[in-house]
A and B are shown apart, each in its own frame.
Chain A
Amino acid sequence: MNYANLTKIATTALKRNKFRAILTMLGIIIGVGSVIAMLSIGESSKQSIREEMSDMGTNMIFVMPGQQRRGGVMMGNSNTKTLTLKDIEALRKEAKNITEVSPQVSTSGQAVNGNNNWPTTIYGVDAPYLDIRKYELEDGRIFTDKEIKSLAKVCIVGQTVVENVFNDNVDPIGQTIRFGGIPLKVIGVLKEKGENGMGMDQDDMILAPYTSVQRRMLAITHIQSIYASAVSEEQSDAAIEEIETILRRQHKLKEGDDDDFQVRSQAEMVEMVSSVTDMLTLLLGAVAGISLLVGGIGIMNIMFVSVTERTKEIGLRMSVGGRGFDIMMQFLIEAVMLSILGGIIGIIFGTALSYLASFALDMPFVVDTQAVGLSFLVCSVIGIFFGWYPARKAANLDPIDAVRHE
């Protein structure tokens, strides 16, 4: 008995029961389809988050004030005043693994121009901030040193602010925005950057000299956070260490004291977010995998029905010379064909689903080829595994009883 003949017999048997074959495959189709869709959607969302985060600069490092203990009371991050301009100076002078440093102070409020107003956030920063955060100017210029030193009332606005605060056809450059009662002259406009990975609008912002925001709006002398660029992404870790050493010395922390600041790198954040999406993908994939298992059990169920229903056929095949092995292979091939065919349809279905999803969610379309290969393999294994027992049952039938079975 050759396999070509067996395959032909199995194909004919499936063709004779097209509707049932499709129903049986449905479990596998849905199982494989959802596995592929889940893994692909997971992969593409990971990629899209990675892309957006690298837009923010993968060699970016930021320092936030950390927990501080005052007389045994833990203070919240926002109340801590541990970072100062002296820290910035020290970093600028000493740190070798970072290229640029900028302080950041921020406050929220209404931006007003004429009859328009818009709730936004103003960030007080130094000139290198744009490079560090990968912002670009569309028009105008950046603050000069003189403007920073003189607490100048100037600002650079993001596109969302431009759209909401200025009337159409008005060139924002040279206009004045009132923010927290202080008139700021617009000297530059930022290029549009879009949403970041967390869905935050990165264009809804106003940049002003940190000195102006610090003194004129917040009336503080400390700074809220520090942004820096590592020489390269690979040197992020070295830069973090260097910053920690310098800041600990600056803050006169003794050995054993906790840091009163936190240093984070964008690379770390990317990894963190990736691990979260990986976890989610795995979880969804596992759920989808269970439906694949259910599909496999469906195949076994139908194969049992099929063997019982075709007892007479099996008896006949045996009487005309089919060996037990031939009968077993026939049913096994049928089961494997069902699951592989279901798998192929499922792969197409899942790919189409992830294409639709990437289209709807505006993410890159990624087909997880590993997932495709894996599902294909899993399908074959499921076919053999769940087809084995019914096929064995068919092969062990007694031809005399089987052929007279009614």
Chain B
Amino acid sequence: MSKAIIKVSELRKDYHVGEMTVHALRGVDMEIYEGDFAAIMGTSGSGKSTMLNILGCLDKPTYGEYQLDGVNMGTMNKNQLAGLRNNKLGFIFQSYNLLPRTTALENVELPLFYNSKVKTKERKERAMHALEQVGLADRMDHMPNQLSGGQQQRVAIARSLVNDPVVILADEATGNLDTRTSYEIMELFQRLNDNGKTIVFVTHESDIARFMKRNIVFRDGRIQKESAVSDRFNATQLIEALPVDEDYES
């Protein structure tokens, strides 16, 4: 068995809304292994977003332990958590969250700006390399509004790769994209995973979840079901099988 990158045990999270206490997570035990490609699924209110916030070191659990790459995040302060996000995590959002009027290259460089060990030259090189990995090296000077949705999401993926994170956290990364583009993005994720990247992918679409190796289903703040995907989709094959859209030229 390979090494556990993420290890959570007995994780609970309570929110206080006025007088009421909302139990968003009611004791979660979960492990994500190196090279894993896991979908966190669930309806809204199932606790999957809370889980992702905690996994992303943006929020702290009320109770329980979370170890990220051997580091116990429970003992860390706000600034240390920021450092952890900077060094170990890559984020991908549903709405891409690229900086407007900023070139693709500069968008990808962003996480490295907050790492004082990386000098200007290295920053540029690493950003270039990340853009190459997502196949957008020729678009490095484009602004987000000059890119299609799929391309913007690729830039966002490049941004999540640039700091060489131990795990990539994707939040509904295909939620804003059409079927073909979604499949193309999943193709990219599958390739990254094949190359050894650990990916945790939050989605509520079960067909998207079938691109992954494992599905973890949340319900009412607990893990309802955890299963390996037996009939896994291969994105490349699915794209070939799609009817050719005359309006669409890649």
Contact = CB atoms under 8 A, between A and B. Distances in A.
Interface of A: 1-2, 5, 8-9, 12, 16, 312-313, 315-326, 399-400, 403
Contacts, number: 67
Contacts of B140: none
Contact of A321 (B59, B87, B106): B87
A324 B53 contact: no
A320 B58 contact: no
Interface in B53-92: 53, 56, 58-59, 78-79, 82-83, 85-87, 91
11 contacts: A16-B100, A16-B101, A316-B93, A316-B110, A318-B58, A319-B85, A320-B114, A320-B163, A321-B114, A325-B79, A400-B53
A317 B115 CA distance: 12
A59 B99 CA distance: 72
A324 B78 contact: yes
Contacts of B115: 321
Nearest to A320: B111
A320 B102 contact: no
B131 to A, nearest CB: 16
Interface in B84-137: 85-87, 91, 93, 97, 99-102, 106, 110-111, 113-116
A1 B111 contact: no
A322 B113 CA distance: 9
Contacts of A325: 79
A314 to B, nearest CB: 11
B159 interface: yes
A317 B110 contact: yes
A307 to B, nearest CB: 15
Given A2-B116, A12-B102, A16-B102, A320 B79 contact: no
Contacts of A319: 56, 58, 85, 91
Name, among A319, A323, A400, the residue most crowded by chain B CB atoms within 10 Å (CB to CB): A319
Q: Lowest 10 A-B CB distances belong to which pairs? A: A321-B86, A320-B111, A321-B114, A323-B82, A16-B101, A321-B85, A316-B97, A2-B116, A323-B79, A5-B113
A293 B186 CA distance: 55
Contacts of A324: 78-79, 82
